[in-house]
Amino acid sequence: MSNMIDSFWLRIIYIVSSAISLAVAFLILGPRPEGLAGSLDVSGLPLVNASLNSITTLLLILAVVFIKQKKIDAHKKTMLTAFGTSALFLISYVIYHWFKAGPKLYVGEWTTLYYTILLSHIVLAIIVMPLALIALYRGWNNQIAKHRKIVKFAYPVWMYVSITGVMIYGMLYL
């Protein structure tokens, strides 16, 4: 019975992750209604997004400290908070790109580095969503061996996405 429940929730995680990724891609790259771009001042959201990524990074580090100290409850709460800050980032990111006309172009001297970071960030941001959800699901359900196994991949990817999100902000806006 447990395998059936796990299978069900894994399917839900993959469906939700795919739907969110496709919706974000459409909202950013797809057509917008006339007059939408610029109808809401979203100029402060890139700083909010970088701040949320920074907070997520710090929470991920703190969560590792807690688990190494065997503070399971603090670890769980910290990881749920990190997931929450990542979710807030995603909402803010979508709002920003929905109301802004096109992406901000990079004009610095490190073009190859910037686009390498950006491309890897985008690909890994898509990948981290189901990894993080599966890790949270398995941790929440005390499937510790399975949780540890996926966290070996999910944690470094999530850290990379959070850190490179801040780097991209710095390269575009500072």
Q: Which CATH superfamily is domain 41-173 in?
A: Cytochrome c oxidase, subunit III, four-helix bundle (1.20.120.80)
Are residues 162 and 57 in contact, defined by beta-carbon separation less than 8 angstroms?
Answer: yes
User: What are 103-141's pLDDT values in tens digits?
Assistant: 778 999 999 999 999 999 999 999 999 999 999 999 999
State pLDDT tens for residues 141-172.
Answer: 999 999 999 999 999 999 999 999 999 999 99
Positive or negative, the CA dihedral 117, 158, 93, 19 is positive
State pTM to two decimals: 0.92
One DSSP character per residue, 74-132 reads HHHHHHHHHHHHHHHHHHHHHHHHHHSSSPPPP-SS-HHHHHHHHHHHHHHHHHHHHHH
